[in-house]
Structure 1
């Protein structure tokens, strides 16, 4: 049957399309269902276009501080918000087209529409009710559409969407999610950002660098609360030095709307309420899995707190149905989704050497200014788990490359098991740490000890030298600080 497959994947985000490619590589007849944009949220409205925006902000920042590098720029440097947004959308468009090419190259059928599980091994695809945020690129040639399709294995990769707080629901005009924040028609003069996770703090960083007055409101006691407390404190100090206002241990309880502005009522833990007027509010209080209208309830597929319950290989409670990526629960990261998808499909194909994903070895990166990156246990979590640890630190201010770059504020922090010398955590704040963190991720996957890291030669002059110095510091052997 033409509509019969070995594997059907619902959702073409990073998890979905990578899983489809790996499935085809393994010789399985594969189809992928998408209702809006190839590449999903990450390529079109998340990871990639936000990095394009942040890159524009970074260049803008350097232009404003040209004198710090002995340079002179004639006249006043200014930002054209429409051009900045256009560049960002262009980057997304290029990658969107790239996913279409990869599907064709790997002979993966693309089915356009919304999929619903009708019974184990079968889906019904109907016309999408999702209105794209912008015009849909031309559909791939020979793309399939509405109908009934069957497969031995069906993988849910439907991703997630912004979570909304009751009474402070986004309206697309005055209260934004990351969708609206990514394509502002004009640059707001002031913003309140509700939530200081990766999404909230990246947009706070972008808009502050571009000149907006920004206030960040965080419910917990630390900005970027999932990060190591010491790293978080350093980042906060830098944010505030840039002019960002940060209020922790606080929540937005009410938002009053005017014609073209808002007033946020911010309540602190002592019960005091501060009213903050701003042009717009960005709601960045997390995301929730897209589990609705998939037919999960009728088939008895277990869910928990808005996500599908799976085992280490993506299996749900119903045989033949799997889930990966954001819809399968935290950490909700594109690279986690990709790896999870590969594990899932390789297990289906009985590929040798497959093992469950190790979530404590998944890196997290936040592309604010300064950047923040981490992997493994924080110092507090390691102690909470009863581990005896050694902690090493090395400051950017003692690194020659960082000083030469004019980026001498930051810290590299490493955490080792005191008994075995195993690296169990690494945390960074500063320039380009999102590129550096992978060195420690590889080390942790190889179960590297402090001795092996100490005997590794790091090139000079580089920022990566600080990684080794941090290890040396944990054992009282630091050389340059």
Structure 2
């Protein structure tokens, strides 16, 4: 039996950062990772970093070179992340699949070898995995990929179908279109980008259509049949059956918490009706000495949320219990289509439904000197302001460099600033962020 002060299951952002924190406090820490291709977690290996690397390079590199560059980057980051932990004398890394034996004991299986670890504090950071829909012929097809496996595809598909019109699907649609693939997005909802205001969704739809991305709404995929050189995908729209001949099919219908092999029942850990590990505001599970961080606990699936989960756990262990999930308002997000879409806070529709009296500011990207300079004039900026308090309730930016600008808005909202701060602030020129001057100048006092 190997006894540790802490066991961390999963090598993700929250888990690896916590491992270093505990080890530096002279805790003995066991880190369990089932795949040697996942050191560092989802983000650097199969998520943000490789996908955004390919997206960035789609404007400047041939596909094959972009894939090689991506592979070189993640190999470097994976090794760096492994060494950061392995070189710490208080951390022991175990390769294998973890499963609970009891609430203090974890079994690690690797091939025919089994090890048992025990600790009075256990942290679960196993992430999420792609949802595989129940579609006839899908599991037997040789041309179906997840967002993980498709990034290892060495040859650019001439024609690709993407099942799912959510943010992941749209990011890959934008990227493959830029590389030169003929892209069709099949979304089973009749509403495009249902979380966003209609003017935002319409602008994104219009821009993607202009880039020759074919978006089919209310399209339900019914089956796949492989051929000699690809697959025939069947789908139904308004009771009419269609066939689509493609080289590759990408599944992008969502992700679910990765809990199947953990044997949570043995530890008495409860899950939600959506299959996520149930946690309180301090990320403790229903077993108080076991915590869950990152995607496995449900909610927002961003690496920066996993990092903030680490901060919550650190405060729970060593701090004053001042930081918990109740502090997590106005979290920004970005969708790396072209141009990127970024948002924080309430949409116009949400603010109205919640009873706010609002003022709305809009500014076309074409009005920004920097956008003209870099020849990226698609999209617009939009902000929602409380009419009575002058506080910013939310903003949506569909424009070049929006993934950077959104953090300025998020910080202003977090610190409770009036919109006039950004209206009157002195920004450098020519930049995209200076557009905040003109955006908030649209608000009439």
TM range (shorter): over 0.9
Cα displacement (A) at 1:27: 5.0
> Does 2:142 align with 1:173?
yes
Cα displacement (A) at 1:83: 2.6
Contiguous gaps of at least 5 residues in structure 2: none
What's the counterpart of residue 59 of structure 1? Answer: 60
What's the counterpart of residue 123 of structure 1? Answer: 106
Question: Which moved further from structure 2: 46-55 or 177-186?
Answer: 177-186
> Does 2:352 align with 1:370?
no
The answer to whether the 8 A contact 1:312-1:356 is kept is yes
> Does 2:119 align with 1:151?
yes
What is the CA–CA distance in structure 2 between the aligned matches of 1:312 and 1:417, rounded to whole Å? 29
The answer to whether the 8 A contact 1:436-1:464 is kept is yes
Question: Which moved further from structure 2: 381-390 or 34-43?
Answer: 381-390
The answer to whether the 8 A contact 1:363-1:376 is kept is yes
What's the counterpart of residue 50 of structure 2? Answer: 49
What is the CA–CA distance in structure 1 between the aligned matches of 2:430 and 2:40, rounded to whole Å? 38
Matching of residues 465-480 of structure 1 within 5 Å: 465-473=434-442, 475-476=443-444
Matching of residues 410-429 of structure 1 within 5 Å: 410-429=379-398
When normalised by structure 1's length, the TM-score is 0.86
The answer to whether the 8 A contact 2:422-2:436 is kept is no
What's the counterpart of residue 40 of structure 2? Answer: 39
> Does 2:212 align with 1:230?
no
What's the counterpart of residue 135 of structure 1? Answer: none
User: Match of 1:119, SS?
Assistant: coil
Contiguous gaps of at least 5 residues in structure 1: 61-78, 130-144
> Does 2:96 align with 1:113?
yes
Q: How many residues are aligned here?
A: 440
Q: Identify if the C-alpha distance between structure 1 residues 429 and 343 changes in structure 2 by more than 3 Å, giving closer, same or farther.
A: same
When normalised by structure 2's length, the TM-score is 0.93
Q: Identify if the C-alpha distance between structure 1 residues 186 and 148 changes in structure 2 by more than 3 Å, giving closer, same or farther.
A: same
User: Match of 1:308, SS?
Assistant: coil
What is the CA–CA distance in structure 2 between the aligned matches of 1:286 and 1:411, rounded to whole Å? 28
User: Match of 1:98, SS?
Assistant: helix
Matching of residues 211-222 of structure 1 within 5 Å: 211-222=180-191
What is the CA–CA distance in structure 1 between the aligned matches of 2:221 and 2:11, rounded to whole Å? 35
What is the CA–CA distance in structure 2 between the aligned matches of 1:303 and 1:316, rounded to whole Å? 9
Q: Identify if the C-alpha distance between structure 1 residues 404 and 20 changes in structure 2 by more than 3 Å, giving closer, same or farther.
A: same
What is the CA–CA distance in structure 2 between the aligned matches of 1:357 and 1:25, rounded to whole Å? 28
What is the CA–CA distance in structure 1 between the aligned matches of 2:22 and 2:436, rounded to whole Å? 37
The answer to whether the 8 A contact 2:271-2:277 is kept is yes
Q: Identify if the C-alpha distance between structure 1 residues 247 and 128 changes in structure 2 by more than 3 Å, giving closer, same or farther.
A: farther
CA deviations 1:100-120 (Å, max 9, x no partner) are 232146543322211112212
Cα displacement (A) at 1:454: 2.8
What is the CA–CA distance in structure 2 between the aligned matches of 1:321 and 1:472, rounded to whole Å? 50
What's the counterpart of residue 66 of structure 1? Answer: none
Q: Identify if the C-alpha distance between structure 1 residues 189 and 5 changes in structure 2 by more than 3 Å, giving closer, same or farther.
A: same
> Does 2:132 align with 1:164?
yes
What is the CA–CA distance in structure 1 between the aligned matches of 2:211 and 2:50, rounded to whole Å? 23
User: Match of 1:303, SS?
Assistant: coil
The answer to whether the 8 A contact 2:141-2:224 is kept is no
The answer to whether the 8 A contact 1:9-1:20 is kept is yes
CA deviations 1:219-260 (Å, max 9, x no partner) are 224444333432222111111101111112322122232233
Root mean square deviation, CA, Å: 2.1
